[in-house]
Structure 1
Amino acid sequence: MTKLRIVVLGLSLSSSWGNGHATTFRALLRAFAARGHDILFLERDVPWYAAQRDLKNPDYCRLEFYSDLEDLGRYRDAIGNADAVIVGSYVPEGVDVGRHVQRLANGIVAFYDIDTPVTLAKLDRGDYEYLSPGLIPDYDVYFSFTGGPTLKAVMERYGSPAARALYCSVDPEAYPVLDCEKRWDLSYIGTYSPDRQPTLERLLIEPARRAPHLRFAVAGPQYPEGIDWPENVERIDHVPPDDHPAFYARSRYTLNVTRADMIRAGYSPSVRLFEAAACGTPIVSDIWDGIETLLEPGYEILLASKPEEVVDVLATWPEDQRRAMGGRARRRILAEHTAAHRAASMEQDLHEAIRRRRQEQPFALAVES
């Protein structure tokens, strides 16, 4: 297909601290660039990410920073000349950024929602932090981290001309299988979230209390001081992406915990799900609609709702059974859920949007599809 000039305005590419957006963008854009496309990533320069940057000069795109909406004006020509501009969820002043982009762009404009169920819940409450209902019909494509029935709802309720699933993924080269001595029986990696905490309590902290002879770890920032961590739970404030494979490799099992809004919507996999599976680490997950379309329960992933179910697996599963499940999950992810798969899907959806625009407005776009 024809080379595309893409401008992406996302929450962060430079820092993975306290967010899952950076690792998602890194894998996706690296794979997209490998398909021959030109990418400019524009990131709002904010102090909390500036102090925790773990990527400065990506070799697959240009990364540049703007200080505020006025400063974003420096990129007027880049936005206007792009074949496609993609605005991400949770971009600071995202509604104003979206209006700005829609006004300037001569190519198509897409919204990439890495937080779809959270976004829709916010819209229901009249909370237009980074997206408003009025912007959605003017985004040519609404890329969604959530698939299933939610896509139809975005089109029918909010007037999106094309809502398409664009799940998170994994870069297999960045998440290999490593041979490391096991340090934990069950681990979890994720930023603190009040709606995830009850599940973490039920599926990791309570099992740790019931099995003091086993070892556990919780990695991620922003956990409040008042949590009663058992002595056999190791707390790690932050694990940079480059260290994720070793973290998973040191875990006999790892836990996947889903936010409440995403459980209600279903079809909302976490990037950690794909990362851990790519590393061959068996996953224990909470339960939500659509997980069976990604990994087969009982064969490629373990589902649990009670602490005793977790303790039983940790205490009784033999090593060969554990390894076999991790291997099956890895093969499934590499066959269907890599960044290369997502980049190909995004490329196809962008070209389809370009064709639609050309049909509606002949000669409006210069790109040949």
Structure 2
Amino acid sequence: MQNKKLNIAFFGSSLVSAYWNGAATYYRGIVRALHERGHHVTFYEPNAYQRQENRDIPDPEYAKVVVYQANEEAVYNVLEDAATADVVVKASGVGVFDELLEAEVLKLQSKDRLVIFWDVDAPATLDRVESDPADPFRTCIPQYDLILTYGGGDPVVNAYTKLGAKKCVPIYNALDTATHYPVSPEVKFACDLAFLGNRLPDREARVEQFFLDVAAKLPEQKFIIGGSGWGDKPMSENVNYIGHVYTNEHNAFNCTPKAVLNISRESMARYGFSPATRVFEAAGAGACIITDYWEGIDFFFEPDTEILVAKDGEEVAQLLQGLTEERAQAIGEAAYQKVLAKHTYAHRADELEQLLLKTPRTAAKPSTEASAVIS
């Protein structure tokens, strides 16, 4: 059974572009690790939101990428193409025809084919569904063979179970050692505190509290903010907005500042156990991370030794004012050693592989050598 190689079809937002697509590096890490274990992966992504015009990477060697047009006919064509897979995955937040895909992939279920919903934003999905009894996704949840989530721990598992999920398992994000690692500092990213994240409705107020207000209170310190959508946001003069940061610059962005800040989206902080992918990426570059508080931090990193934790903007300011270069480097090194030991995508892929191979619907089918679909 351990030698069985799976063909996986994955419908997601994008594997090749991180533009308005924070899940990209999560997908890449998981898919690369599965490929390294011999599984075949095909990733179906729509041509939408200018992602193809803002690619971070060419089509990777570890997956077949199928880009389809953002229309209904194209969606049905790729669904037909996915019908030869052993495992079909529909991720949340594809961005176009999500409702259609969530219903139609269920028609691909068979005694030989596993159909999975992979929620990369479970807190938002659950909040939406629980607030609307008529949400069509409600009827889909009990039909999936398996619900996977980007994180969320017991609160998310319990919420999905209450909605009728057969089984819900978090596959936490992690470090992709092939893409995120320590590099030499770059002067353009030099500052006391840097934050990277797109401007989103349930993050913006927390960015104000944990970052922008802190910068305004510490005019003698230098701050950098990267990500899409912040161009018209009022900021103090000591904040430098640098726009979208491409993946190939993430390592320098994380290595260079004295510290980097993680700010969870409101819903993820509320559910807990939802570390952003960027936490692991920053730790993989040896960065000293300051994070907003959320339940479950110590499940991943030891506070004060491997990561610094702040419950509000005032605590961020206090941490910054007391942070020496030497302590920042020691915390960054400790975080780096922790992610290598416990939190790489190889660790996650091992967990996922065991889960898929032990699922009767998948395990019942003889090994095949066809091509696949995933992410």
Mapped pair 1:42 → 2:44: yes
The DSSP-based 3-state class of the residue aligned with 1:51 is helix
Distance 2:254 2:246 in 1: 12
Distance 1:210 1:316 in 2: 15
Mapped pair 1:201 → 2:208: yes
Structure 2 equivalent of residue 210 of structure 1: 217
Structure 2 equivalent of residue 96 of structure 1: 100
| Correspondent of 1:344 among 345, 350, 364 | 350
Q: 1:213 to 1:152 in 2, by over 3 A?
A: closer
Which AA in structure 2 matches 1:297?
A: P
Offset from partner CA, 1:95-137 (integer Å, 9 cap, x none)? 21122221124410111111000010011222988x7011111
CA shift, 1:84, in A, is 0.3
| Correspondent of 1:58 among 53, 57, 60 | 60
The DSSP-based 3-state class of the residue aligned with 1:196 is helix
Structure 1 equivalent of residue 371 of structure 2: none
Which AA in structure 1 matches 2:168?
A: A
| Correspondent of 2:254 among 244, 248, 253 | 248
Mapped pair 1:275 → 2:277: no
Which AA in structure 2 matches 1:62?
A: K
Distance 2:219 2:349 in 1: 44
Structure 1 equivalent of residue 373 of structure 2: none
Give the total of aligned pairs: 360
Offset from partner CA, 1:207-250 (integer Å, 9 cap, x none)? 2222212110010111262x321111000110011110011112
Distance 2:72 2:57 in 1: 23
Mapped pair 1:323 → 2:329: yes
What does 1:120-159 correspond to in 2, within 5 Å?
120-126=126-132, 132-159=137-164
Distance 1:43 1:358 in 2: 24
Which AA in structure 2 matches 1:235?
A: Y
Structure 2 equivalent of residue 81 of structure 1: 84
Distance 1:230 1:358 in 2: 55
Distance 1:198 1:213 in 2: 23
Which AA in structure 2 matches 1:51?
A: E
Distance 1:315 1:327 in 2: 20
Give the alignment's TM-score, normalised by structure 1: 0.92
CA shift, 1:14, in A, is 2.1
| Correspondent of 1:25 among 4, 24, 27 | 27
The DSSP-based 3-state class of the residue aligned with 1:133 is helix
Offset from partner CA, 1:289-319 (integer Å, 9 cap, x none)? 1111111111111111233432333233222
Offset from partner CA, 1:161-204 (integer Å, 9 cap, x none)? 11001111121121111231561100000000232222222222
Which AA in structure 1 matches 2:67?
A: F
Offset from partner CA, 1:43-79 (integer Å, 9 cap, x none)? 1121521221222311101001122332233345542
Contact 2:123 2:152 in 1 (8 A): no
Mind listing any 5+ residue stretches in structure 2 that lack a counterpart? Answer: 369-375
Q: 1:295 to 1:127 in 2, by over 3 A?
A: farther
Structure 1 equivalent of residue 372 of structure 2: none
Which AA in structure 2 matches 1:24?
A: Y
Mind listing any 5+ residue stretches in structure 1 that lack a counterpart? Answer: none
Contact 2:87 2:362 in 1 (8 A): no
Give the alignment's TM-score, normalised by structure 2: 0.90
Q: 1:45 to 1:184 in 2, by over 3 A?
A: same
CA shift, 1:11, in A, is 1.1
Offset from partner CA, 1:3-50 (integer Å, 9 cap, x none)? 000110001112101121111111110111000011111111215212
Which AA in structure 1 matches 2:138?
A: P
Contact 1:69 1:97 in 2 (8 A): no
What does 1:217-296 correspond to in 2, within 5 Å?
217-223=224-230, 225=232, 227-296=233-302
Distance 2:184 2:294 in 1: 31
Q: 1:152 to 1:317 in 2, by over 3 A?
A: closer
